[in-house]
Every structure is written in structure tokens, then in C-alpha cells.
Amino acid sequence: MKSRAFGPRSPQAFGFGTRARAIFGAYALLAVGGLMGWCAEKLQDAPSPQAHKDRAFTEFFRRTSRLTACDGALSVPLSDGRVLWLFGDSHVDDYDPATGTMPCLFQVRNAGLLHHKNDLRNARTLVGRRSGGFKSWFKNSENSEQWFWPVCGFQNGNLVYVYLSGLRKGSSEGKWGFQSAGQDYWAKIEFPAMETISYTPLPDFHGITFGQGFVNEGGYTYAFGGKQKGLASDVYVARFKSTNPEDE
């Protein structure tokens, strides 16, 4: 994916299809903090939606072995009916059934779950296999001070592409002791085995993370991204030919 970025402008100018325009508009609305407050005020008299607790997925994530806690939780539908879940910092095999607790420190910087969409009981945890250190699933270096956080992904034939945001330990010891490593990657997972992963560096997008969502329409895949600006973010969209995510 090359940086053919479309900044915070009208999507019609770039020949977006209906679906891509709708998602661009919704994402842009959510990215503007002031508009969010305005919408909440205008909708306060609207009837309350009938929300309910999804018991099946609550129990799916109530885990006591292998992957037990995680952040992120982004899903990628696969063509054979399975679903790939992507997570950032995660706990693996550290649940103590006697106390119902786990340590504060996580074991991996990223992980995955794989299951059939109609089977929430038999999920396969995807982590690294090294004997010591962080057992992160996505890892192309032995440097423990650099890592990946997976964002969104999509399937393209016999490969599953996942956008990886490259992070590294920051110079400060404060609450946010990390920063961008300056290099994001495609992770390419061989389908259907989902075992072998290769990594392709992405171009410099000048602070834009283009992994916030992907929409396939009209022969192109639209990559939605954001770049932080104060407390909000500017919204960007790039596109590449769906048949070749790496070269266009």
C-alpha cells in the first residue's frame, strides 16, 4: 500500500462508492470531539434503545486458560466461516483458579483467537512459541523494547493481511512509556493454516495509522486512518487495488 492519502476532505472528490462514502462520513463525525457532544445533546430526548447483555459472547471472553485477558478485540471474517480476533497486550496461561486472579503484568504484546463463527466453545489461542520473554504472536525481532499492536485486517485469497502499528519503549517513564517506532508493517498470514507469517514494511505515512478499517468496493480497498491532532484526530483515507495490496 503506497501513500495515496486523501486528507480530511470530501470523499466524492476521489470517486468513492456509496459504502465507502458512508463509512468516511461516520468516521469523520466520530473523530471530531465537539460534534460528539452536540449529537449527545440533540439525541437526549430520543427513545432509549433496547440494549441487552450478549450472554454468548460474555461467556466466550470469560476465559480461564490460554488467552485469559486482552485489549483491542478486532475481528476479521475469513472465507471458510472462521473468525480471527486480534488483540494487543494480553495475558496468557496466568489465571489462578484458587484465587480467581491473575498477575498485573501481561505476557504478550499481541495475540489472536481463531474459531468458527458458529462455535464459541473451541477457540484456538494464537501466540508465539518462544520459551522465554514475551510470546507475542506478531514478532519480527528479538528486541523486547519494540513490538507490534495489530489494528484491522482483511483476507485476500490465500493470505490474511493485518495492519501492524510499530511501537517501541519511550524515553519517559510516565503513564505512556511508549511511542511510535516509525515503521508500520503488513503481516501476511498464510490461509488456511494460519501458521506462517511474513512481514512487509509499509511506506512512511507521516504519522497516519491507516489500519483503522478496510472497505472493499469497486476493485479497490479503502484504508481508513487517523492522525492525532490534540485530543481529536484528522481522518484520512487511502486506497489500493484489491488484487495487490502491496504494490499499489
208 three-class SS: coil
pLDDT digits (tens, 9 = 90+) for 48-67: 788 889 999 899 999 999 99
Query: What is the rounded average pLDDT of the residues 37-53?
Result: 62
Kindly report the backbone phi and psi dihedral angles of residue 28, in degrees, each rounded to the nearest multiple of 5, phi listed first. Answer: -65, -40
Question: Is pTM beyond 0.85 here?
Answer: no
Residues 177 and 167 sit within 8 Å (Cβ to Cβ): no
- Determine the Cα–Cα distance for residues 240 and 248; give it in Å rounded to an integer: 5
81 φ/ψ sector (left φ>0, alpha ψ -120 to 50, else beta) = left
pLDDT digits (tens, 9 = 90+) for 76-92: 999 999 999 999 999 99
Share of the chain above pLDDT 90, in %: 61
